[in-house]
Amino acid sequence: MGVCNACESLLVHSAVASAVLPDLVDLLHAHQIELRGDERTRQLIPQAGTATAEDYATEYLGPILSVKIVDSVDEAIQHINTY
Protein backbone atom coordinates (compact mmCIF):
# COMPACT_ATOMS: atom_id res chain seq x y z
CA MET A 1 0.00 0.00 0.00
CA GLY A 2 1.29 3.45 -0.91
CA VAL A 3 0.52 6.91 0.34
CA CYS A 4 -0.98 9.73 -1.65
CA ASN A 5 1.69 12.24 -0.64
CA ALA A 6 4.65 10.15 -1.83
CA CYS A 7 7.12 11.69 -4.25
CA GLU A 8 6.50 10.41 -7.78
CA SER A 9 8.65 12.77 -9.86
CA LEU A 10 11.80 14.75 -9.28
CA LEU A 11 12.61 17.86 -11.29
CA VAL A 12 16.24 18.99 -11.16
CA HIS A 13 17.59 22.24 -12.58
CA SER A 14 20.21 21.72 -15.27
CA ALA A 15 22.67 24.02 -13.46
CA VAL A 16 23.00 21.55 -10.57
CA ALA A 17 22.00 18.22 -12.14
CA SER A 18 25.53 16.93 -12.71
CA ALA A 19 26.46 17.74 -9.11
CA VAL A 20 23.27 16.45 -7.48
CA LEU A 21 22.04 13.43 -9.42
CA PRO A 22 25.06 11.08 -9.18
CA ASP A 23 25.10 11.33 -5.37
CA LEU A 24 21.33 11.17 -5.11
CA VAL A 25 21.15 8.03 -7.25
CA ASP A 26 23.40 6.17 -4.80
CA LEU A 27 21.09 7.06 -1.91
CA LEU A 28 17.97 6.11 -3.83
CA HIS A 29 19.39 2.81 -5.05
CA ALA A 30 20.40 1.97 -1.47
CA HIS A 31 16.67 2.11 -0.71
CA GLN A 32 15.82 0.09 -3.83
CA ILE A 33 14.15 3.00 -5.63
CA GLU A 34 13.80 2.43 -9.38
CA LEU A 35 14.63 5.51 -11.43
CA ARG A 36 13.17 6.44 -14.80
CA GLY A 37 14.53 9.54 -16.47
CA ASP A 38 14.48 11.73 -19.53
CA GLU A 39 17.41 11.61 -21.98
CA ARG A 40 19.43 14.20 -20.08
CA THR A 41 18.95 12.33 -16.81
CA ARG A 42 19.99 9.06 -18.42
CA GLN A 43 23.22 10.67 -19.61
CA LEU A 44 24.09 11.28 -15.95
CA ILE A 45 22.46 8.08 -14.64
CA PRO A 46 22.89 5.41 -17.34
CA GLN A 47 21.28 2.73 -15.18
CA ALA A 48 17.99 4.67 -15.07
CA GLY A 49 15.18 3.43 -17.25
CA THR A 50 13.66 5.61 -19.92
CA ALA A 51 10.82 7.79 -18.64
CA THR A 52 7.79 8.18 -20.87
CA ALA A 53 4.93 10.67 -20.69
CA GLU A 54 2.97 7.91 -18.95
CA ASP A 55 5.69 7.64 -16.28
CA TYR A 56 5.43 11.34 -15.48
CA ALA A 57 1.64 11.06 -15.23
CA THR A 58 1.62 7.91 -13.08
CA GLU A 59 1.06 7.84 -9.35
CA TYR A 60 3.17 4.75 -8.71
CA LEU A 61 2.42 4.26 -5.01
CA GLY A 62 5.64 2.27 -4.97
CA PRO A 63 9.43 2.62 -5.06
CA ILE A 64 9.67 4.24 -8.51
CA LEU A 65 10.74 7.80 -9.20
CA SER A 66 10.60 9.60 -12.52
CA VAL A 67 13.31 12.23 -12.99
CA LYS A 68 13.49 15.15 -15.41
CA ILE A 69 16.14 17.82 -15.87
CA VAL A 70 14.71 21.28 -16.54
CA ASP A 71 16.33 24.57 -17.55
CA SER A 72 14.04 26.98 -15.74
CA VAL A 73 11.31 27.41 -13.17
CA ASP A 74 8.89 28.04 -16.04
CA GLU A 75 9.79 24.70 -17.61
CA ALA A 76 9.29 22.99 -14.24
CA ILE A 77 5.89 24.64 -13.78
CA GLN A 78 4.86 23.65 -17.30
CA HIS A 79 5.87 20.04 -16.58
CA ILE A 80 3.92 20.04 -13.29
CA ASN A 81 0.85 21.54 -14.93
CA THR A 82 1.02 18.96 -17.72
CA TYR A 83 1.40 15.93 -15.45
- Say if 3 falls within a structural domain: no
Which domain CATH number covers 75?
A: 3.40.309.10
Residue 40 lies in a domain: yes
Enter the pTM of the model.
0.89
Residue 7 confidence (pLDDT): 83
1 in any annotated domain: no
Domain-located, residue 72: yes
- CB neighbourhood size of 70 (10 A): 19
In a domain, 76, yes or no: yes
**In this structure, is residue 55 part of a structural domain?**
yes
The yes-or-no verdict on residue 6 having pLDDT over 90 is no
Q: Which domain holds residue 15?
A: 9-82
User: Which burial class, exposed, middle or buried, applies to 25 when counting CB atoms under 10 A from its CB (0-12, 13-18, 19+)?
Assistant: buried
Number of structural domains in the chain:
1
Report yes or no on 2 lying in a domain.
no
The tens digit of pLDDT for each residue in 20-79 reads: 999 998 899 999 999 999 999 999 999 999 999 999 999 888 899 999 999 999 999 999
Q: What is the pLDDT of residue 5?
A: 58
Residue 65 to residue 63: CA distance in whole angstroms: 7
